[in-house]
Amino acid sequence: MKYRVVIALFLTTFLLGGCGSLAGRHNIDSGFSYIESHEYQNALDSFTAAEENGEDMTLIHRGRGIAYLYSGEYDAAVDELMSSLASDNGLVDDMDFDTNYYLADAFIKRGEFTKAKEVYDAIIALKGKDSAAYYLRGTAELASGDHDAGYSDFSKAIAMNPKDYATIILIYKSLAENGYEDEGISILQKAMDNGSDFMTNFEKGQMSFYLGNNADAQSYLEAARNERNQEKEPVVVMLGQTGEKQGDYNYAISVYKTYLNEDPTSALVFNQLGMCQIRQGDYQGAVASFESGLALEDKALQQALMMNKITAYEYMGDFETASSLMETYLSTYSDDEKAVRENIFLSTR
């Protein structure tokens, strides 16, 4: 079938597609707000209320599709996103582009790379020189086993936007994950050689990290950490990872603790700190770090923090507490098959 097209905006795309908050969309707006805070069941409940209230079905199907996608229910996501496109007014707009991006992502999650590619084919046919669409189509082609087509699309994406270093790093990761790390490294090195005069210290630090130049990465990242206008959290996480990569957990812990002393509002950094403490055998310290992260109620990290806290108690040998926490975890994340198996193990201890 022919797919309507979508602007490929990665996972940071705007959820309402520019429609704004209009009269008669109260429940729809609530649903998208819940998606932004990672409360997907509440989002689905809001979209059900929206349907009962006679609100816009195009947005309702779209919202449900996104909620199902992020919940890991990919079949339902495809059905809802297709319904959203089918119920639209026939005029291709930014929201149609955006909805199709989610649709392609759902196809990829289902392992249907050819269908995802067809969506990106349609984007490129209408949008032309859209570097993001070429990158995304490349990932689908590479995942399907078509290395040459994927590499060709990656090359086109880079040629269109050679200073988009974030996408270049994503291309490296995609190649590395599919067994072509040498090609990815070559792309990174070329970008570093040609663009060092244009890159920020953070971008140089990232490039150096993935190139395996750890000392250079630390130097650039330390400089970036001290820059006034640089967002600090991603710098600190990667700087700590330079230590983790070498097994220098004391250094990583020092980096994370220094940051948290200045800004104790990062659940991500608390999680990184806790994982390092586990590796050092400081299980009590790890539990405290995970609890501090959980207290921040960052919906995107609650699941990981809860599971890592359980793991810390297991390493500690406190299987009773771990089992109790696992019951609570599964009451919220019942579809986590790995956790279900782990719960069976805990029940035998």
Given pLDDT bands bounded at 50, 70 and 90, which one contains residue 279? very high
Of 138, 69, 100, 125, the C-alpha closest to 7 is: 100
Looking at the predicted structure, is the pLDDT value of residue 2 above 50?
Answer: no
Joined together, the tokens standing for residue 219 give 């130097």
Could you give phi then psi for residue 304, rounded to 5 degrees? -65, -45
Which is more confidently placed, 187 or 6? 187
The pLDDT value recorded for residue 20 is 41
Report the alpha-carbon distance of residue 250 to residue 29 in Å, rounded. 46
Given pLDDT bands bounded at 50, 70 and 90, which one contains residue 130? confident
Average pLDDT, the chain: 88
Alpha helices in the chain (DSSP H): 26-36, 40-52, 57-71, 74-86, 94-109, 113-127, 131-143, 147-160, 165-177, 181-195, 201-211, 214-225, 232-245, 249-262, 267-279, 283-295, 302-316, 319-332, 337-347
Looking at the predicted structure, is the pLDDT value of residue 264 above 70?
Answer: yes
Given pLDDT bands bounded at 50, 70 and 90, which one contains residue 16? very low
The pLDDT tens digits for 43-77 are 999 999 999 999 999 999 999 999 999 988 999 99
Taking the model in full, what pTM does it have?
A: 0.82
Joined together, the tokens standing for residue 228 give 């006034």
Looking at the predicted structure, is the pLDDT value of residue 155 above 90?
Answer: yes
The pLDDT value recorded for residue 340 is 58
The pLDDT value recorded for residue 107 is 95
* Positions of CATH 1.25.40.10 in the chain: 1-127, 263-349
Domain 1-127 CATH (choose: 3.10.129.10, 2.40.50.140, 2.120.10.10, 1.25.40.10): 1.25.40.10
Report DSSP letters for 17-37, one per residue.
TT----TT-HHHHHHHHHHHT
Q: Give yes or no for a contact between 330 and 340, defined as CB atoms under 8 angstroms apart.
A: yes
The pLDDT value recorded for residue 127 is 78
The pLDDT value recorded for residue 1 is 39
Torsion of CA 273, 250, 248, 189, to 10 degrees: 60
Q: Alpha-carbon Rg of the chain, whole angstroms?
A: 22
The pLDDT value recorded for residue 330 is 87
Q: Give yes or no for a contact between 249 and 276, defined as CB atoms under 8 angstroms apart.
A: yes
Given pLDDT bands bounded at 50, 70 and 90, which one contains residue 227? very high
Q: What percent of the chain has a predicted confidence (pLDDT) above 90? A: 74
| Side chain identity at residue 324, one-letter code | S
Of 291, 295, 349, the C-alpha closest to 324 is: 349
Report the alpha-carbon distance of residue 63 to residue 99 in Å, rounded. 9
Of 94, 49, 112, 42, the C-alpha closest to 70 is: 42
CATH of the domain spanning 263-349: 1.25.40.10
Residues with Cβ within 8 Å of 117's Cβ and at least 6 positions away in sequence, in order, are 137, 140, 141, 144
CA-based end-to-end distance of the chain: 53
Given pLDDT bands bounded at 50, 70 and 90, which one contains residue 293? very high
Q: Of the ranges 6-15, 154-163, 179-188, 231-240, which one carries the lowest mean pLDDT score?
A: 6-15
